[in-house]
Every structure is written in C-alpha cells, then in structure tokens.
C-alpha cells in the first residue's frame, strides 16, 4: 500500500519553490531518468503546456495527456494541441525547475493547479536512482491556498514504446497500486529504433491513499476514455479495450480535506537492461533495484511507496546543488540545476542478472546523440565525470571497472580501449579492427580518472587488480606521449592530426598521476620532465600560449582543457604561471556566448569551455559561465528546442549563438560541475575502506624503453630508473616534430599496425 501523502499542498509548494531556477531552457525535462525514459517539453512550446506535446530526446512526439476536473468543469493541463470538446485549456502562469523537479503553475477558473514533474536523482541510494520511473503530481488550491476537490487523469499511448505492430495492455491491482502496462509485439531485446528502446513495457500507475483518494486505470479509445473523465472526473466505471491508437490512462480523485495531491508513476520497465561482455562471457545486467524487488509489480509498488521519502530527500539535494553553485554565482547555480537530470539519465546503475551481487555495481553510460557507444573513455566519461565525482566518487569506479575488466581479459593492445560497445545497451566489446583511434587520449584519461578515484576514496583495489595493464598504459604514454602520431582526440569531428599539444599535455598529466597512484616516483618524474619539454616545443615563440599543434604558426591555439584535470588532482605537472598566460590569451578572444574551441573554427564545446573556466581568474570564469547561461536562456529559435545542447557558434556572424546540430541530451553536460570540482564541491558518501590494499604490495614498475614505431611493443623490456631520460620517442627518422604529410598516413586500417607499433598484422586483426 502506498504511504499516506503527509505534506499539505501549501507547505510542500513553498518548500519546493524556495530555490527554483526560472531561466528559459531549450527544452524542459519532464520524465528524464534513463537513456530510454527521456521525456522533454520543447522550449518553444513551454509557455503553454496545455497545448504542448512532449517529445523523446531525439524528437519523437509522445502522447501524454493530463487533465483536471474542478467544480464540474474539465481543464487540460498538458497534451491537448488544438483543444478538446468539452475541455477548457488551463492558463499557464509560471514555469520553474530545480535539479530534480519541473514545476508548472496554471489557473483553472479561481483555482491554482501545480504540476510537478519529478525525476528522483540520488547519487548515493542506488536502488532509488536505478528505478526506471518518474513521478508526476497534480495539486489544487483556491486563491487563499486552501486545497480543493480535484479529479486528475494522466494518459499515455504506444508512442512510448517505439514498437511496431499492435500494442497490448495489462492492468493489475496489487496492494493498493493500480498498474497499467503497455507492450508491443515486435520488440527485439537490446535493440533501438531512433534511439528509443524496442523492448520493455511502458508503465503508468497510481496508488490508493490510505485514507480517501481513489485510483482507477483503464484503456480504450481516446474519445471514449477521455469522454468518461470529462463527464465524471473518474474512470472507475469505464469498460474499454486496447486498440490501435488507444490510450492507457489512470485517474485519481483527491478530496480537499485530504491535503494531498494526485501522484502518478510513468516509466519504461525492462526485464534485462544491458548485455556485457567481460572478455570471457556475455552476461545480462539489470537495474540495481532488482536486488530489492523481483518484478515489475514489486518495482512500481516500491517506487510509489518511496514517494514521500524521495520527495523529502530531493528538497535537501536541490538545496545542496544551489549551495554549491552560489559560491560562484546565481547563473552558475542555474546551470548546475539544469545539469543534474540530463547527466544522470545518460547512465544506469546495474548489477549482474545472474547473481544480483551489489558489492560491485557498474554504471553503463551511453554516448547519447553521437554514436551510442558504451562507456567511452576519451569522448564521454571524463566529460561527464565532474558531476558524478563531486556527488559520489564511487561512480568513477562504476564507470571504469567494466572497462578494465574487459581490457584485462580481451583487449590485446598496449593503449586503452576506446569503448566497450558500439551500440548501447550492447557492451559486447571492442576489437582493434573497429576501434576508434584515440589511443593517447583514451589511455591518458583512464590513468587520470583512476588516480582521481583512488585519491578521493582511498580505495586501491582497481590499481592493484589491474596493475599489469595499467603499467602497459603508462609505458604507452612514455613512448608516444611527447610527439603524438596521427590520431584523433576527444573532439573527433576535427579529424586526425599529429603533434596535438592537448594530447601531449594529457599524457604528461597521466604519467604524473600514475606515479602518484602507484608510488612509483620515476613515472611522475617522467611526466614532469615531459611537461617541461612541452612548454618548450608546444608554445608560441613568445611563450604566451600553447599551440594547437607543435608545427602551427604562432597564432594557433586551442582550449587547453587537460590543465583543469592537473589542477583538480593537485598534481602540479605544469606550473601555475601557465594557467595565467593561458587565461590572458583567452581573455583577448572572448565573445558574448563564450570562446571558440580552436582558432580556426567558429563554435565552442561547452564541456571544454567549462574546464577552462575552472582554472581561470574570476573575470574570465564568470564570462564563460555567463556565456553558457546566455546561450541556454535565449530565444529557442537559436537552440531549436533540443534538450541540453552543448555545442554552438560563438564567433560573430549570422549564426552567432546558434546550435551546431551536434550533441544534445548528453551526459557530457556534467562538465559544468568542473568549476565546483576544482573548488572542492561536496561529497555525500564514504567508500568502504575494506577494499583498500596497500599500494606497496604491487610489483615495482618502471617505464619501458622508447621504441621506433615499426618494432613490436609487446617485446619491450623494462628499464632501470636511471635510463628514464629525455628526449622521448620521435617518429622514426625525425629529429623534430613532424606533420601528417611526413608520416604519409592514411585511414586504411591496414596501415595502422605499421605505424602505431602494435604486434598484430591486418589479417590478425580481422581474425580476432
């Protein structure tokens, strides 16, 4: 039985709205909880919820109708474009949001109605976080704030499924919970259609109050089913069947003396949510909540029973996010609040379906809106990590351990893997033949992030259990870090190039991090020595800024984002003076919407701009924060009402401040937390020290030799510390940094083994 709704409407409303943000957004989150439960209200429609149709993040319209019946009159609150006979449109008065809530206030005659779209985010409570449902509540009060009698209906249809063919409905009543499930006939497990899941059940549910509210769930044709509610405010007497184009709906009647609200659950439930290949076998993974409940009915019961507790925790959490942000500015608080649901909805906390073991949960994160890769190292995890690590450092382990486990068992190369699956939710591994070639970026950030986790928690388990491959990765940075061969970076849309300064800086920081993490000071010394070399060869003649590539002219530059990680980790790989010269350079190149990513492109990348802001003086930091705020808060024509865009044009021109049609709804928006991360943020959790094992138990590790590119890396033997000297590896035959033309590389996969110094031939690769 669902718990009594204890809070009065007025008290809860005042508490909820005390710290809301009211900035305009390109799109407002409604039910945003997982990669597949991601329902938004486009910004250009957000002034009139009654006439608006919500959308999946990719843009597909989703039927969601919410109506309220007051004093024998029915009003539409959401999802009635063009209106309905016998229904009045409520008048929208305000729209606000917090980290976990979107509040819409409407007038219906003399009554004020408040819709609360509430997607719980709980970085510590994995059961609550992993439940694939969101709440929507409706409450009503007169002009004096006193509750009034109200009947409410919430209705969805098969558009939430994306499954072709007929839809089927199942209605159940269990322990006071009314559960309505929609399923399709053509759903293939672990498959998608335009990013929507093709398997699972769409869920709509409500629960009877202990005292007075009544719930009824029914299916039928839109005209008949809605007609019954319009006439009576209740579905209890309705008798219908699911047919093509039909609706699934739940109604609740809330008497004024109950001092509560109508509460509905919506979501998408899947028996299996992920398949993961650990290099030895494929396992199915399920949400962490399955350790507590065993089926869909129990899950929905648990979710509805948890409403009051989840609501109370959300108010505390929302206030904490504001508290973090206001140390910097009110605009920064707005951005942090906007970030939360989008960041957490891109990932899912899971456990093995076979064992339901909760000792080592994994977080699988989807590279939304680009290529759907799973747990991408260079392109995704480090960009999302600031929000997760600030709120619970355990997420860093949950992201990285499935990558390390696969790599230890099945990844043959001496650099880190790019991802562990090409199409979420299939974390079925990577092979060298289909690898996206970002070897130095992926390797460097993996070492950064492992040290970040160990430093934050004191947990050395990953460092010890995966010591052999981590040493190989550190040696890769030694050999190939100073003069990067042709490859892509995390900004892979810009193509491959040699001698990218940002990659070299990443490698130097990674070596220092690895040395600190393992206690092997010679690696840290190698990183610091490499940094000194980069300061010499990677900057302009006047040493005012880093060049994008070593061989560029002096006007070349790029946002040097890896420096923020050096500051976050307090490694001091690079001297403090570098931050000042970089900031001085950026300060001369600012525009209203921020600063471009590189000297020869017109757009910025929000994530790397926020990393730069994190290590900038106040005036530059504030300008960059305000640039992001200005972009999100502008006329929606520029952003095209897409959820959480992270890339836009900043250079003056006709398209200044306009979205680039690339990257939306992605967890990389978590980079907005980088300022808070470098400042210290806050931490809600403590990781069990029982995992800790002394670093001193590891074998003594030393860097391997610097090999020419056509030798086999696997044959390299260790050096003694005294042999770890600069200069580092140069491309064969070169005495100085070279460009791509010198190497003569193409993107034919058969060419890569010859130049990257790995052991396999092309035929070996494709046989793997």
pLDDT in tens, 336-356: 999 999 999 999 999 999 999
The pLDDT score that the predictor gives to residue 715 is 29
Helix axes 394-410, 439-457, angle to 10 degrees: 130
More confident residue, 708 or 525: 525
When mean pLDDT is compared across 37-41, 159-163, 355-359, the lowest value belongs to 159-163
pTM listed for this prediction = 0.90
Q: What is the pLDDT of residues 513-524, one digit of tens each?
A: 999 999 999 999
Least confident of 250-259, 288-297, 751-760: 751-760
Residue 8 has pLDDT above 50, yes or no: no
pLDDT of 19: 58
Q: What is the pLDDT of residue 378?
A: 94
Query: 384 and 284, same structural domain?
Result: no
Residue 185's Cβ-count burial label (10 Å; 0-12, 13-18, 19+) is exposed
Please state which of the ranges 220-234, 437-451, 689-703 shows the lowest mean pLDDT. Answer: 689-703
Question: What is the per-residue pLDDT across 664-687, written as a single tens digit (0 to 9) for each?
Answer: 999 999 999 999 999 984 443 333
The mean predicted confidence, pLDDT, of the chain is 87
Look at residue 365 and tell me if it is in a domain: no
Which residue, of 289, 316, 343, is where some domain finishes?
316
Beta bridge mates, 254: 150
The whole-angstrom separation of Cα 737 and Cα 412 is 29
DSSP states along 707-762: --TTS-GGGPPB--GGG--SS----TT-SS---HHHHT--S-GGGHHHHHT-S--H
Domain that holds residue 45: 9-316
Query: pLDDT category, 434, cuts 50, 70, 90?
Result: confident
Same domain, residue pair 117 and 260: yes
Q: Is the pLDDT of residue 724 over 50?
A: no
pLDDT at 742 over 70: no
Least confident of 364-368, 463-467, 507-511, 688-692: 688-692
Is residue 209 domain-resident? yes
Q: Are 219 and 249 in contact (CB under 8 A)?
A: yes
Residue 541 neighbours by CB distance under 10 Å: 7
236 and 380 together in one domain: no
Q: In this structure, what are the phi and psi dihedrals at residue 656, rounded to the nearest 5 degrees? A: -65, 135
How many structural domains are present in the chain?
A: 2
Is the residue at 462 inside a domain? yes
Residue 433: the pLDDT is: 84
Residue 616 within any structural domain of the chain: no
Of 60-74, 82-96, 257-271, the one with minimum mean pLDDT is 257-271
pLDDT per residue as tens digits for the range 112-145: 999 999 999 999 999 999 999 999 999 999 988 8
Q: Are residues 302 and 381 in the same domain?
A: no
Tell me the mean pLDDT in the region 97-119.
Answer: 97
Supply the pLDDT for residue 629. Answer: 97
CATH number (domain holding residue 694): 1.50.10
Average pLDDT estimate for 495-513: 97
Q: Does residue 145 form part of some domain?
A: yes
Determine, yes or no, domain membership for 523: yes
Asked if the model's pLDDT at residue 1 lies above 50, the reply is no
Residue 311 and residue 387 in one domain: no
Same domain for 142 and 57: yes
* Residues 386 and 283 occupy one common structural domain: no
Same domain, 106 and 202: yes
Kindly tell me if the per-residue pLDDT of 765 is higher than 60. no
Q: What value does the mean pLDDT take over residues 94-118?
A: 97
Same domain, 387 and 269: no
Residue 173 resides in a domain? yes
Query: For residue 165, what pLDDT band results from cuts at 50, 70 and 90?
Result: low
**pLDDT exceeds cutoff 60 at 459:** yes
Residue 763 in this model has a pLDDT that exceeds 70: no
Q: Domain end: 265, 296, 316, which one?
A: 316
Is residue 340 in a domain? no
What's the pLDDT tens digit per position in 303-341?
A: 999 999 999 999 999 999 999 999 999 999 999 999 999
241 lies in the same domain as 386: no
Tell me what percent of the residues of the chain surpass a pLDDT of 90: 77
Average pLDDT over residues 77-85: 95
- What's residue 424's pLDDT? 98
Same domain, residue pair 181 and 280:
yes
3-state SS assignment for residue 663: coil
CATH number at residue 184: 2.70.98
User: How many of the other CB atoms lie within 10 Å of CB of 293?
Assistant: 17
User: Has residue 192 got a pLDDT over 90?
Assistant: yes
């Amino acid at each position: 039985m669902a718990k009594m709704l204890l809070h009065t409407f007025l008290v809860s409303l005042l508490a909820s709205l005390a710290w809301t943000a009211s900035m305009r957004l390109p799109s407002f989150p409604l039910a945003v909880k997982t990669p597949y439960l991601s329902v938004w209200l486009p910004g250009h429609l957000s002034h009139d919820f009654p006439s608006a149709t919500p959308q999946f993040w990719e843009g597909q319209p989703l039927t969601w109708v919410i109506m309220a019946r007051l004093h024998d009159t029915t009003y539409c609150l959401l999802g009635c474009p063009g209106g309905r006979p016998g229904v009045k449109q409520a008048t929208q008065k305000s729209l606000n949001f917090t980290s976990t809530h979107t509040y819409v206030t409407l007038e219906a005659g003399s009554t004020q109605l408040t819709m609360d779209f509430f997607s719980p985010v709980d970085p510590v409570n994995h059961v609550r976080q992993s439940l694939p449902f969101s709440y929507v509540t409706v409450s009503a009060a007169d002009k004096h704030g006193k509750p009034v009698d109200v009947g409410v209906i919430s209705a969805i249809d098969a558009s939430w499924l994306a499954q072709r063919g007929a839809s089927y409905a199942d209605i159940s009543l269990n322990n006071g919970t009314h559960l309505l499930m929609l399923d399709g006939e053509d759903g293939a497990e672990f498959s998608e259609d335009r990013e929507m899941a093709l398997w699972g059940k769409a869920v709509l549910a409500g629960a009877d109050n202990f005292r007075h509210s009544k719930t009824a769930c029914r299916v039928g044709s839109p005209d008949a089913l809605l007609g019954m509610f319009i006439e009576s405010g209740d579905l209890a007497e309705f008798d219908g069947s699911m047919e093509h184009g039909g609706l699934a709906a739940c109604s609740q009647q809330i008497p004024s003396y109950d001092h509560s609200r109508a509460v509905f659950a919506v979501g998408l439930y899947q028996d299996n949510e992920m398949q993961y290949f650990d290099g030895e076998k494929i396992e199915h993974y399920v949400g962490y909540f399955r350790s507590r409940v065993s089926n869909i009915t129990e899950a929905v019961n648990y979710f509805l029973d948890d409403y009051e507790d989840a609501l109370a925790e959300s108010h505390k959490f929302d206030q904490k996010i504001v508290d973090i942000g206001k140390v910097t500015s009110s605009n920064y608080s707005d951005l942090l609040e906007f970030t939360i649901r989008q960041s957490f909805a891109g990932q899912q906390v899971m456990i093995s379906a076979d064992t339901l073991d909760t000792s080592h949960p994994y977080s699988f994160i989807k590279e939304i809106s680009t290529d759907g890769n799973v747990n991408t190292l260079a392109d995704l995890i480090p960009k999302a990590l600031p929000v997760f690590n600030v709120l619970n450092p355990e997420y860093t382990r949950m992201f990285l351990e499935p990558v390390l486990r696969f790599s230890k068992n099945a990844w043959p190369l001496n650099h880190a893997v790019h991802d562990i699956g090409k199409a979420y939710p299939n974390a079925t591994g990577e092979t060298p033949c289909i690898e996206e070639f970002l070897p130095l970026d992926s390797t460097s950030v993996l070492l950064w992030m492992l040290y970040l986790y160990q430093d934050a928690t004191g947990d050395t388990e990953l460092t010890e259990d995966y010591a052999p491959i981590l040493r190989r990765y550190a040696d890769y940075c030694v050999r190939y870090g100073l003069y990067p061969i042709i490859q892509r970076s995390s900004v892979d849309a810009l193509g491959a190039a040699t001698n990218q300064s940002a990659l070299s800086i990443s490698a130097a920081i990674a070596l220092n991090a690895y040395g600190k993490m393992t206690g092997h000071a010679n690696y840290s010394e190698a990183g610091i020595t490499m940094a000194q070399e980069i300061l010499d060869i990677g900057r302009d003649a006047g040493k005012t800024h880093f060049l994008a590539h070593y061989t560029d002219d002096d006007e070349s530059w790029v946002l040097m984002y890896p420096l923020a990680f050096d500051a976050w980790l307090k490694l001091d790989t690079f001297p403090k003076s570098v931050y000042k010269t970089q900031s001085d350079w950026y300060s001369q190149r600012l525009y209203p919407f921020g600063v471009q990513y590189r000297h020869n492109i017109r757009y910025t990348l929000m994530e790397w701009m926020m990393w730069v802001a994190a290590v900038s003086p106040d005036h530059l930091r504030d300008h960059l924060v305000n640039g992001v705020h200005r972009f999100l808060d502008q006329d929606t024509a520029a952003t095209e009402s897409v959820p959480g865009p992270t890339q836009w044009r900043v250079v003056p021109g006709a398209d200044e401040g306009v979205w680039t049609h690339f990257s939306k709804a992605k967890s990389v928006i978590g980079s907005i937390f980088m300022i808070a991360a470098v400042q210290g943020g806050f931490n809600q959790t403590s990781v069990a020290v029982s995992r800790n094992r002394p670093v001193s138990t590891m074998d003594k590790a030393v860097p391997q030799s610097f090999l020419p590119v056509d030798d086999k890396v696997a044959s390299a033997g260790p050096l003694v510390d005294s042999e770890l000297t600069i200069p580092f590896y140069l491309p064969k035959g070169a005495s100085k940094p070279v460009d791509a033309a010198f190497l003569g590389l193409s993107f034919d996969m058969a060419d890569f083994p010859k130049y990257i110094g790995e052991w396999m031939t092309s035929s070996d690769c494709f046989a793997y």
